[in-house]
Amino acid sequence: MTIAVPAEPFRTTLDAVPADERPSTDEHRYGPESTATHPLATGPIVTPPHSVEGFVREFLRELNYGQGVALARATVNDQYLALARTVAHYLAARWLETSRVQRETKAKTVGYLSAEYLLGRQLGNALLATDLRDIVEDGLAACGISLATLRAQEVEPGLGNGGLGRLAACFIDSLATLNIPCIGYGIRYEYGIFRQTFVDGRQVEQPDAWLALGSPWEYPHPENSVRVDFGGHTETYTDEDGETRTRWVPSWNVLGIPYNYMVPGYHNGRVNTLRLWSAQATKAFDLDIFNSGDYAEAVRAQTFAENISKVLYPEDSTPQGRELRLQQQYFFVACSLRDFIDRELPQDFDLHHLPERIIFQLNDTHPVIAVPELMRILVDERDMPWAEAWQVTQQCFAYTCHTLLPEALEVWPTELLGRLLPRHLEIICRINDDFLADVRAAYPGDEMRVRRMSIVADYPERAVRMAYLATVAGSKVNGVAELHSQLLRDKVLPDFSDYWPEKFTNVTNGVTPRRFIRLANWNFSQLINETIGVGWVTDLDRLAELEPYAEEADFRARFRAVKSANKERLRQLLLARDGIDLPADHLLDAMVKRLHEYKRQSLKLLHIVSTYEQILSGAVDPAHVTPRTFIFGAKAAPGYRMAKEIIHLINAVGATINTDPRTQGRLYVAFPPNYNVTLAEKLIPAADLSEQISLAGKEASGTGNMKFALNGALTIGTDDGANVEIRELVGDDNFFLFGMTEPEVVELQSHGYVPSQVYESNPLLKSAIDLIASGHFTEGNRESVAPVLDDLLYNDRFLTLADFQSYIDAQARVDAAYADRDAWSRKAILNVARSGFFSSDRSMRDYIDRIWHTKPLK
């Protein structure tokens, strides 16, 4: 079709500047790094009106001159890249203005240090934040292009493993929306988390080549690279003032290249920055060696350096993998600290005042090596006295613990630390010596307490306990749900909470309503808008205004219509994506989360097998079984053998049930591979039942539970993590509680738990396990199921069998409730109306009030 040249351009920053003063295209595409005195960098940035015609003009210009193709010859990827850059140019105006105001006001910034950012696709979020969706959709339609098609073309960055990375993404979204200055720091993994596939029902990891077709949302700045040192030794010397000092003499180094991403606030003009680091060799290519014919050796240094940012969480069952993980952690925090001190602060800045300008939030233990790195910079490079440097450091860090599992609290052997980061080990040991001297003074004669609290452990090997280092160095330590924070104080770090009770606090996690309601559940959010107005998107407590409508039959009917449409949308997606054809009009029972034994996907599986076995044995008439689709989404860590065995068993059970005519129309098991944010945005709004069934006292918080509740799914769960707060808010009548409490778990374990006795004493459980053991689901192969069953019967660390009957009873209550769809709809609406507390905006306000003490900057 013919596109007329519009009279009114879709304006970007450049349109506000005379043509002869405009910077080059490359300058325009850089992020907000320049400190030049050009009007574009220092003057007020104008955001002129925009229109459909103006958008078309800018889109075609980007397609022609950015991609170098005409519309008639453009591929879908050409069109997507041109669209993404057009929208990014619009955001860049706000980005530059945000940076200018932040520098001029010298505002205190949150430096969010996280090894993971599970961002999801960027285009939809950018259109939502800028309110450009309608303009873009109409403009593309005028060009004969579908916005939905281009959105589907985007490959999401796989820069996270699960809840930790998605939480980080929610938090930086909320900080931008709340006008809080923030720089997110992390790693630009070339392949990120693996792409999961199934071969004969078993997980197979494939590289996640998310960069293969281009990444239009990132702005590289190789000129701002940071050198990061490793290895070598330390030496003492006498400085010009006669002081004895220590310096690090490293043996090798790499470069960190920053890639900037825009983090837009919702409809407020603020755009914060996410800065991800990519590793490169300081000398990438040796021409002499290449010319000698040894081509592999000529690029060996580059290959070695790039390994640092190659993949998220390299498999660490080998010494090489473990060392690479530590390299990753130090690499990104060293780059980040150096970046903030050298580039975000004036050259003459007095680092004694650093806490007035930055608070670094340690998102779990991965970035804790930043503590000795800041001390090294202050003491070794800036000649600050040790006591003064330590005072500054303690005000610059706060620590969030995300686990209750001892194995998840990182511990680094001193041998590895000393070999890779010798100066940092010395600094840690001095911090520990000073700290233990204070402990001895507070608890004279209590050497057992001193040993328990030592940052450096002596058994089973001499190693540094990173959670202890973070606790000693941090201004605050927080858990991520009320129960988790209590257990953190009482069981994980009890000596520290006794020593520093004021240091410990709670901030319950939250999720961003922009992505997980407004964007993911568009039709439902439109229904909410029509009912209570639009302000809820940034004030989620306003969802409480929906509660009276739960009593209105018309609203319940409209709610069910939205849920039904969401199920059909998911069915169409999975059919096209994986060839999975979900049955219509089933209760959609979802369990989507990282595969770990404590999350107890095996308990969900036993429920499925038990229901199936009851049909096979004739104990239950299939006509009396609630039609259910069980849907799983889970990745297992590459080296986690038991988790992989559970995945295989789930797929084997599903393959059998889905082809058995006796259960057709009643039971269906779906396990789409490669669960990610993009799939979550379709699956969560479609779900009826949310499975949150971890053993009480093991889940820190969970955020999937919040997303499901906010999208109208009812929860079946234990009193664990944030489930406790969800149940208290939505009401016991609207939550299916089961299982032991945390004190009951402790009591059972203390008396000696024998899972095989539970198996023998429960006929329903025994029948289910026996059916699996018979090889019914594995073509007679009993050996393939033995690892999972043997672990359940003779170990069962997470008390799956002990909670089985309570879980089955709760599922019976689910069936009874779902039989009355109208009453179920009422419960679901009340879940939405009473879950506004679980906004990441509220979480951020809690961090601001309790930990960071930063102020909004409009």
Angle formed at CA 342 by CA 229 and CA 99, multiple of 5 degrees: 130
User: Whose structure tokens read 């008390």?
Assistant: 799
Catalytic residue among 423, 514, 567, 594: 594
Catalytic residue among 85, 121, 563, 593: 593
Catalytic residue among 57, 188, 556, 599: 599
Helix (H) or strand (E) holding 252: strand 252-264
Active site residue 106: no
SS3 per residue for 367-381: CCCHHHHHHHHHHHH
Q: How many CB atoms lie within 10 A of CB 671?
A: 21
Residue ranges in the chain whose pLDDT is less than 50: 1-49
- 107/120 Cα distance (integer angstroms): 29
pLDDT, position 530:
98
- 281/300 Cα distance (integer angstroms): 9
- 315/327 Cα distance (integer angstroms): 13
User: Whose structure tokens read 């000649």?
Assistant: 383
What's the token pair of residue 669? Answer: 């098991």
Q: How many CB atoms lie within 10 A of CB 285?
A: 11
Helix (H) or strand (E) holding 601: helix 601-617
pTM of the model: 0.93
CA dist list (Å): 355 to 111, 389, 400, 412, 458: 11, 11, 18, 28, 34
Active site residue 599: yes
What are the strands, taking DSSP E only, across 731-850? 735-737
Contacts 24+ apart (CB under 8 A), 520-525: 520/680, 520/681, 520/682, 520/684, 520/685, 520/711, 521/562, 521/566, 521/684, 521/685, 521/711, 523/562, 523/565, 523/566, 524/559, 524/562, 524/566, 524/685, 524/711, 524/712
Residue type, 340: F
Catalytic residue among 109, 703, 715, 800: 703
- 28/22 Cα distance (integer angstroms): 9
pLDDT, position 314:
78
Residue 253 CA, chain-centre distance (Å), reads 29
Per-residue model confidence as pLDDT tens digits over 617-642: 999 999 999 999 999 999 999 999 99
User: Of 127, 2, 9, whose CA–CA distance to 57 is shortest?
Assistant: 9
pLDDT, position 285:
63
Catalytic residue among 89, 121, 567, 707: 707
Residues ≥6 apart with Cβ < 8 Å to 553: 822
Active site residue 751: no
pLDDT, position 54:
93
Q: Is 97 left (phi over 0), alpha (psi -120 to 50) or beta?
A: alpha
- 837/488 Cα distance (integer angstroms): 22
pLDDT, position 267:
95
Catalytic residue among 402, 476, 596, 604: 402
Active site residue 594: yes
Is residue 831 classed as helix, strand or coil in its secondary structure?
helix
Active site residue 703: yes
Per-residue model confidence as pLDDT tens digits over 664-705: 999 999 999 999 999 999 999 999 999 999 999 999 999 999
pLDDT, position 32:
43
